Structure 1
Amino acid sequence: MKIYTLHKKQNLPISIKMAWEFLSNPNNLKTITPDYMGFKIISGADRPMYEGQIIQYLVTPVLGIKTKWVSEITHIVDQKYFVDEQRFGPYALWHHKHFIKAIDGGVEMEDIINYKLPFGVLGELVHPIVVKPKLEEIFSYRAKKLEELFGIYNT
């Protein structure tokens, strides 16, 4: 059983409050998800984020196959971090930690995703060819959209 990790960091010239308000609102996920993925919230995003919140999405990650994804917000520390975990969806495991912290001139946003693919050895074989490149593409898109929305951080 192989568990993979995707780790991304991004700096933006915004306040902790602004970063938290954007990132902790599930409705903003559509804004930072590539259009081709057909991201649509089905239910659960009608109130501010809270521990135990269940959010249902429809997403088309590959080959035009529409997939239902159900996430639970399992941990929250206001304006510091939150964790979402897949309860139903394309992964055997999906545990996504979102951290934000103040830095000189803005915030550092950090994503740490631990995930496991279904289908055993077959899942491990397609990981480097399909899954890892797709996740890299999605998170690169997300970084570019956040830069467009909030400005590029210059050090």
Structure 2
Amino acid sequence: MKLYRLISKQTLPVSKSEAWDFLSNPKNLSTITPDHMGFEILAGGNRAMFPGQIIHYKVTPFSGYSTKWVTEITHVKEGEFFVDEQRFGPYSLWHHKHFLKAIEGGVEMEDIIDYKLPFGILGQLVHPFLVKKQLRQIFTYREQKLAELFGTINTIENQIRFESI
């Protein structure tokens, strides 16, 4: 069983509470997702985030292929972190931790996503040029969009990296 990890860090010149207010609102996810993904919340995104919240999405990860994705917000520590886990969707496993840490002049956001692809060896073969590439595009877009909305402290510290675990 091959597991992958994506780690993304970004610093923004905003308060921790301002970053939390934006990032913990499910409605803002479409703002920081590339338009070509056809991202749409179908249900469950109309309340402030809480543990046990189920959110249904429609997403088009690749041209000509759209799918529904259901996540559950499993953990929330107000202003500090939240965790979303896929219940149904394109991955065999998707566990996404979002952390916020106050730093001098702003906030550091860190995302850690542990994921597993379906289809065994076939999923592993397409990971480098299809899935990994697309996740990098999504998080690069998100980084650029957040910098556009809030500014950035130091782009050298912003990073996206992948690991096999």
TM-score bucket (shorter structure) = over 0.9
| Residue identity matched to 1:149 | L
* Partner in structure 1 of residue 16 of structure 2: 16
Shift in alpha-carbon separation, 1:54–1:104, aligned structure 2, 3 A: same
Secondary structure class of the residue paired with 2:46 = coil
| Residue identity matched to 2:91 | Y
Alpha-carbon shift at residue 129 of structure 1 (Å): 1.2
**What is the distance in 2 between the residues matched to 1:64 and 1:145?**
25
- Among the aligned pairs, what percent are the same residue? 66
Deviations 1:66-113 (CA, angstroms, capped at 9, x unpaired): 110000000011100000000000000000000001000000000000
* Partner in structure 2 of residue 145 of structure 1: 145
TM-score (norm 1): 0.98
* Partner in structure 1 of residue 84 of structure 2: 84
Secondary structure class of the residue paired with 1:61 = strand
- Report how many residues are paired: 155
**What is the distance in 1 between the residues matched to 2:124 and 2:23?**
31
**What is the distance in 1 between the residues matched to 2:18 and 2:89?**
30
Structure 2 regions of 5+ residues with no counterpart? 156-165
**What is the distance in 2 between the residues matched to 1:47 and 1:78?**
15
**What is the distance in 2 between the residues matched to 1:50 and 1:125?**
37
Q: How do 1:68-79 residues align onto structure 2 when only pairs under 5 Å count?
A: 68-79=68-79
Secondary structure class of the residue paired with 2:61 = coil
* Partner in structure 2 of residue 129 of structure 1: 129
* Partner in structure 2 of residue 65 of structure 1: 65
| Residue identity matched to 2:57 | Y
Secondary structure class of the residue paired with 1:67 = strand
**What is the distance in 1 between the residues matched to 2:91 and 2:71?**
11
Alpha-carbon shift at residue 32 of structure 1 (Å): 0.2
Q: How do 1:104-119 residues align onto structure 2 when only pairs under 5 Å count?
A: 104-119=104-119
| Residue identity matched to 1:25 | N
TM-score (norm 2): 0.92
Alpha-carbon shift at residue 62 of structure 1 (Å): 1.1
Which protein, 1 or 2, shows the higher relative CO under an 8 Å CA cutoff with sep ≥ 6? 2
Runs of 4+ in 1 over 2 A off after TM superposition: none
**What is the distance in 2 between the residues matched to 1:54 and 1:91?**
17
Alpha-carbon shift at residue 21 of structure 1 (Å): 0.3
| Residue identity matched to 1:151 | G
Cα RMSD, aligned residues only? 0.9
The structure in which a higher percent of residues are strand is 2
